[in-house]
Chain A
Amino acid sequence: AQTVTQSQPEMSVQEAETVTLSCTYDTSESDYYLFWYKQPPSRQMILVIRQEAYKQQNATENRFSVNFQKAAKSFSLKISDSQLGDAAMYFCASFSGTYKYIFGTGTRLKVLA
C-alpha cells in the first residue's frame, strides 16, 4: 500500500529564518512524483514544488527546496527566509498511475514576526 507520513503536526519558524518540514513515503511504484502543496487560511490549495522520482537533482523553486532521499523514501521541504505569507498547512503527496494521489496528514506552519 502507498502511504505518505508527515510526523510534524505543527511547526513554528521565526520570520526570515529557515524551516524544514519532514515527509516520508512508501510506494511500490517505480515511476512516481512527489509534491508539496500549501493550503493557506483562504483554503485553496496550491502547488509549492514537485519532484520527479527519476530525477536525482533536488527540485528548487525560489525560497523552497526539497531534500529527496529516494533510498530512504524521504522528501522534506525546506523554506528559506520564511515570510508571514508562508503560514499555512503544508501537505506532502505522492502520485503514480492514473492520478492516484496519496496525501499526508499535513503540517501546520506558523511564522512568527
Chain B
Amino acid sequence: GAVVSQHPSRVICKSGTSVKIECRSLDFQATTMFWYRQFPKQSLMLMATSNEGSKATYEQGVEKDKFLINHASLTLSTLTVTSAHPEDSSFYICSAGLGDTGELFFGEGSRLTVL
C-alpha cells in the first residue's frame, strides 16, 4: 500500500514559538492531503484540506493564521503551528488518498507538547 510519513513524531516547544510538521507521500503523488487533530481518547477532527499549488481549505472553527498549511509539491504538505500555546498541545495526523477507492493512508502522527 501507499506510504505516508510524518516528521517529527514528537516535538516539545516553548509557548510563543512556531513548530513545523511535515507530511510526505513516499511512493505516490498526493494532490490532496488532510490534516487532523486528535485529542486523547477522542476521534479525529479534520482541520484542513491541503491542496497542492493552492490555498488550503480550513474547517469551521480552525484558525488559518494559527495553523499555516503549505502544499508546495505533490509529495509534501507542511503544517506550521504559529505562536504555539499550551492549548495547541495535541496529536496531529496527516493523511492522503490514492485513486478513487476512498482509502486514506495515514502518517504516523506528531505529538506536540507546548510548555
A binds B: yes
- Which A residues form the contact surface with B (CB < 8 A)? 33, 35, 37, 42-47, 50, 91, 95, 98-99, 101, 103-106, 108
B67-105 contact mask (Cβ, 8 Å, vs A): 1 or 0: 000000000000000000000000101010100011110
Q: Is the CB of A44 within 8 A of B97?
A: no
Chain B interface residue number, banded: 20 to 34
Q: Does B46 contact A (CB under 8 A)?
A: yes
Cβ distance B89 to chain A, nearest Cβ, rounded Å: 15
Cβ distance B81 to chain A, nearest Cβ, rounded Å: 18
Q: Is the CB of B107 within 8 A of A44?
A: yes
Q: Is the CB of A101 within 8 A of B104?
A: yes
Using CB atoms, name the residue of chain B closest to A34.
Answer: B102
Q: Does B106 contact A (CB under 8 A)?
A: yes
- Check A106/B43 contact, CB under 8 A, given A99-B34, A99-B97: yes
Residues of B within 8 A of A99 (CB): 32, 34, 49, 97, 102, 104
- Check A43/B91 contact, CB under 8 A, given A99-B97, A99-B104: yes
* C-alpha spacing A33/B36, complex, angstroms: 20
